[in-house]
């Protein structure tokens, strides 16, 4: 299992999780109760319920670079183009726009 903090304009908004069933995204209750709370995406409106998907949510997948920048990331970091969560964690800490992604250290399990 891997997890990442999702920030909206430098405010911690929620947590994205990759697990054996796919992906989950949930907003933090502190963020939801904030008067400045905005959804990170129109496809992920503010709600207490957890969003679930078998594949990486299109919004988050869209944050991953394309073209020559993706080629550089996959080559230099030795990441498969199919490993979308790793690409998101490596490439989207400081992306263009209001949303950024930061890996939560120590949340990865080793599977044998």
CB of 46 closer than 8 Å to CB of 32: yes
* Phi/psi of residue 83, nearest 5 degrees: -85, 80
Whole-angstrom CA distances from 57 to 8, 44, 48, 68, 78 are: 16, 9, 17, 23, 23
Q: In this model, does residue 86 exceed pLDDT 60?
A: yes
- Assess contact for 28 and 18: CB atoms under 8 A: no
The alpha-helical segments, DSSP class H, found in 14-107 are 29-33, 58-61, 67-77, 84-91
Q: Return the pLDDT at 76.
A: 83
Confidence of residue 68 (pLDDT cuts 50, 70, 90): confident
Q: Residue 108: pLDDT above 70?
A: no
Q: At 15, which helix (H) or strand (E)?
A: strand 11-19
- The mean-pLDDT minimum among 27-31, 86-90, 106-110 falls in 106-110
The helix (run of H) or strand (run of E) holding residue 53 is strand 51-53
The helix (run of H) or strand (run of E) holding residue 6 is strand 2-8
Q: Could you give phi then psi for residue 107, rounded to 5 degrees? A: -105, 10
The pLDDT value given to residue 105: 84
The model's confidence at residue 81, banded by pLDDT at 50, 70 and 90, is confident
pLDDT grade for 51, boundaries at 50, 70 and 90: very high
């Amino acid at each position: 299992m891997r997890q990442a903090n999702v920030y909206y304009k430098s405010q911690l908004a929620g947590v994205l999780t990759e697990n054996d069933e796919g992906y989950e995204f949930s907003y933090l209750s502190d963020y939801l109760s904030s008067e400045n709370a905005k959804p990170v995406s129109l496809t992920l409106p503010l709600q207490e319920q957890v969003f679930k998907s078998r594949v990486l949510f299109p919004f988050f997948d869209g944050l991953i670079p394309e073209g020559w920048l993706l080629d550089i990331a996959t080559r230099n970091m030795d990441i498969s183009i199919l490993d979308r969560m790793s690409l998101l964690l490596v490439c989207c800490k400081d992306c263009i726009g209001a949303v950024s992604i930061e890996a939560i250290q120590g949340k990865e399990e080793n599977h044998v």
